[in-house]
Amino acid sequence: MSLLLRAASLAALSVLAMPLAHAEADTFSYAQPDKVRVKSLALDLTVDFAARQLAGSAELQLDWRDRAAHELVLDTRDLVIDRIEAWRIGGPPHAVKFELDAADPVRGAALRIALDGPAPAVRIHYHTLPQASGLQWMTPAQTAGKKQPFMYSQSQSIHARSWVPLQDTPAVRFTYRAHVVVPKALRAVMSANNDARHALDGDYRFTMDEPIPSYLLAIAVGDLAVRETGPRSAVYAEPSVVEKAAKEFSDTEKMIEATEKLYGPYRWGRYDILVLPPSFPFGGMENPRLTFATPTVLVGDKSLVSLVAHELAHSWSGNLVTNATWRHMWLNEGFTSYVENRIVEAVYGKEQADEEFIIGADELRREIAATPPATQWLVPQLDDADDAASDFAYVKGAWLLRTLEARFGRAEFDAYLRGYFDHFAFQSITTEQMLDWLQPNLLDKYPGKMSLDEVKAWIYGPGVPADATVPASPRLTAIAAARAQWLAGTRKALKLGAKDWNTHEWMYFLDGLPTDLDARHVAELDAAWHLNGSPNAEIARRWYLAAIRADYRPARAQMAKYMTRIGRRYLVVPLYEALAKTPNGLAFAREVYAKAKPGYHPLTQASIEKVLAGKPSGD
């Protein structure tokens, strides 16, 4: 029997043994966790850049809930299964039969392993294919250093199955260990214990003793340097980027301490950050112990480090207390967005936190106006797990928690939220379970403040209630007045007073521009403030959207560079969508995409190709 089967963390296993009640099955997984659950995973993988594949084995330790079951069903997508072994209780491993079902375009293919009883473990020998949706393989030319290749994973929402055969559902949590062999001179890192002083010898071992869901399984390999940013935090990045990143993220320890004061101890040991190449499709990914972050937030003034606050907040909401299925993603993202704003307030002040919330609330209002009511619930019906990541999950969810704070008082709500994290720690839950805890521990404890029906109206209804409030921001109010005067022709662009605007104030100004703004206004704004080619990715996104809507062609050369350099979906997909609305814009978008595609992650490619095929993505 393997080392994994002989040794396991007793603390982790005691949590894994707890019953996890669920109100519904996960429609995006073939797994049958009511019959058997994966308790722990041991990976033994070799990273082959030439073949663009991971090859090796995955050993799963199993907890049988139904002792009469004789089949283990796992999730896969584009995996080649070479052979499978199983253990009998007290016996050696032996070969077992298996079959892969026909692949579904969303869920992939079920791997069905036939067993003659409740085997304590199975070992699957397999390799990935180059098109694995959860991996991106980059040539040296696609990296910052231009010398070494780079590979990284993105498992959320259901892409872990494209590089590991497992129960790919957030309802199942497991510990893991990994042995990873990579080319010498490259560094491997995972969502586990990373050793900043590890020799670049090509042989790496990792351990994650806290139980995590599959979407938090992560790996990256490349030319990575390390800089410490605190007693329990460091930054990993390519050598040409690492110093800039360490400076930008130097407040990480302050953020950890601020969150601990609010919601209890940080339970994951270290909090390191990996800055990925620009093709990374998200702003950040909260992989435990090693947040993956986009380089687009490295602007030199810390104005976009709320992204770190967000991913850190996931260490409590998401990683610690997890949505049981992707319909309930607001339990991850809404709670995290609320905690993020509290961290920003604690570290950078209430004015910045309020500005960030107002911008998010305005964005949500625009989304509400353009979205069918049935899709505005916090617990929507989904056709694809990746569709769960919407402004409703993030902003509407946070707005609900902000309303609870206002009704019950900050001290009372903070105590409730800390108790919530403690009670559901290392569990995966549904909205109904959250409500079952909310009622006796907050609503009934302080009667007359807010009813369960009012809370449910937020969750199971469209839009936001009419009495939902936002904070006041005198600076944003003044900017809105200046914008209105400029649009009315009573103030010149040079007289907007924008010299001292911060990033969020520019975002607010540009977000509020009318969609029918003419090219003359856009040209005047560019001449006054030189927005074309802005190195700030958030400001540039909004500027290029205004330029596209006004058909301001002088912006296109810099826009093309931006769309080719950046692969973050939130930043580039809206530009493709806006361009695709006119024949000339669509032709330009297709021309840009032809050049940019090799540097995009498969998830970004899929989103853009829907747009260019006439199916605008909601991403």
Residue (of 219, 504, 519, 524) closest to 341 by Cα position: 504
Dist CA 573 CA 152 (whole Å): 21
Q: Which of 173, 192, 220 is the last residue of a domain?
A: 220
For the chain, the residue count is 619
Domain match, 400 and 388 both: yes
Q: Which residues does 560 contact at the CB level (< 8 Å), separation at least 6?
A: 588, 592, 595
Domain match, 291 and 341 both: no
Angle at 212 between CA 207 and CA 213, to 5 degrees: 130
Dist CA 449 CA 406 (whole Å): 10
Q: What is the mean pLDDT of residues 521-541?
A: 97
Helix (H, G, I), strand (E, B) or coil at 264: coil
| Residue 442 DSSP symbol | I
Element (H, E) at 190: strand 187-190
Domain match, 502 and 514 both: yes
In a domain, 201, yes or no: yes
Dist CA 342 CA 310 (whole Å): 10
Domain match, 399 and 304 both: no
Residue 8 pLDDT > 60:
no
Q: CB of 202 within 8 A of CB of 3? A: no
Dist CA 401 CA 486 (whole Å): 36
> 568: which 2 tokens?
């973050």
Helix (H, G, I), strand (E, B) or coil at 17: coil
Residue (of 345, 340, 348, 297) closest to 318 by Cα position: 340
- The tens digit of pLDDT for each residue in 420-429 reads 999 999 999 9
Residue (of 165, 134, 175, 154) closest to 41 by Cα position: 175
pTM above 0.85, yes or no: yes
> 156: which 2 tokens?
């959320």
Q: Which of 220, 244, 259 is the last residue of a domain?
A: 220
Can you give the CATH number for the domain in which 412 is found?
A: 1.10.390.10
DSSP string covering 461-530: SSS--TT------HHHHHHHHHHHHHHHTSS-GGGS-GGG--HHHHHHHHHTS-TT--HHHHHHHHHHH-
For residue 91, the model assigns a pLDDT of 79
* Residue 91 CB burial class (10 angstroms; 0-12, 13-18, ≥19): exposed
Dist CA 216 CA 213 (whole Å): 6
Helix (H, G, I), strand (E, B) or coil at 134: coil
Q: Which of 59, 238, 286, 311 is catalytic?
A: 311
For residue 310, the model assigns a pLDDT of 98
For residue 615, the model assigns a pLDDT of 55
| CB-side neighbour CA atoms (13 Å) of 210 | 21
Domain match, 349 and 454 both: yes
Dist CA 62 CA 120 (whole Å): 5
In a domain, 281, yes or no: yes
Q: CB of 253 within 8 A of CB of 232? A: yes
Q: CB of 122 within 8 A of CB of 62? A: yes
In a domain, 466, yes or no: no
Helix (H, G, I), strand (E, B) or coil at 241: helix
| Residue 276 DSSP symbol | P
Q: Which phi-psi region, left, alpha or beta, contains residue 106 (left: φ > 0; alpha: ψ -120 to 50)? A: alpha
Strand runs (DSSP E) across 247-289, as ranges?
A: 272-275, 284-285
Residue position matching structure tokens 């098109």 = 131
Domain match, 305 and 215 both: no
Active site annotation includes 311: yes
> 137: which 2 tokens?
């393989």
For residue 17, the model assigns a pLDDT of 32
Residue position matching structure tokens 């200046």 = 482
Q: What is the mean pLDDT of residues 322-333?
A: 98
For residue 369, the model assigns a pLDDT of 94
Q: Which phi-psi region, left, alpha or beta, contains residue 344 (left: φ > 0; alpha: ψ -120 to 50)? A: alpha
- Number of domain units in the chain: 4
In the chain, % of residues over pLDDT 70: 95
> 238: which 2 tokens?
């390519």
Band the pLDDT of 618: cuts 50, 70, 90: very low
Q: CB of 264 within 8 A of CB of 421? A: yes
Domain match, 34 and 74 both: yes
Residue 2 pLDDT > 60:
no
In a domain, 467, yes or no: no
Which domain covers residue 92, as residue numbers?
3-220
Q: Which of 126, 204, 394, 593 is catalytic?
A: 394
> 3: which 2 tokens?
């080392």
- The tens digit of pLDDT for each residue in 457-476 reads 999 999 999 989 999 999 99
Dist CA 254 CA 257 (whole Å): 5
Domain match, 189 and 325 both: no
- The tens digit of pLDDT for each residue in 175-228 reads 999 999 999 999 999 999 999 999 999 999 999 999 999 999 999 999 999 999
Q: Which residues does 253 contact at the CB level (< 8 Å), separation at least 6?
A: 229, 230, 231, 232, 233
How many other CB atoms sit within 10 Å of the CB of residue 187? 22
Dist CA 296 CA 440 (whole Å): 43
For residue 88, the model assigns a pLDDT of 85
> 374: which 2 tokens?
């049935």
Residue position matching structure tokens 């990715």 = 537
> 192: which 2 tokens?
């586990």
> 94: which 2 tokens?
């032996």
Query: HEC states along 20-67?
Result: CCCCCCCCCCCCCCCCEEEEEEEEEEEEECCCCEEEEEEEEEEEECCC
DSSP string covering 408-424: H-HHHHHHHHHHHHHHT
In a domain, 164, yes or no: yes
> 118: which 2 tokens?
């409740």
In a domain, 192, yes or no: yes
Number of H helices and E strands in the chain, helices first, is 20, 21
Residue (of 116, 3, 127, 128) closest to 61 by Cα position: 3
Residue 352 pLDDT > 70:
yes
Lowest mean pLDDT among 36-40, 93-97, 293-297, 465-469: 465-469
Active site annotation includes 394: yes
- The tens digit of pLDDT for each residue in 397-447 reads 999 999 999 999 999 999 999 999 999 999 999 999 999 999 999 999 999
> 220: which 2 tokens?
């990256």
Residue position matching structure tokens 């702003």 = 283
- The tens digit of pLDDT for each residue in 536-553 reads 999 999 999 999 999 999
Can you give the CATH number for the domain in which 298 is found?
A: 3.30.2010.30
Domain match, 293 and 154 both: no
Residue position matching structure tokens 């030439």 = 50
Dist CA 330 CA 603 (whole Å): 21
Domain match, 368 and 253 both: no
Q: Which of 165, 194, 220 is the last residue of a domain?
A: 220
Domain match, 390 and 296 both: no
Rounded to the nearest 10°, the torsion over CA 474, 296, 341, 328 is: 130
Domain match, 159 and 203 both: yes
Can you give the CATH number for the domain in which 169 is found?
A: 2.60.40.1730
Can you give the CATH number for the domain in which 507 is found?
A: 1.25.40.320
In a domain, 29, yes or no: yes
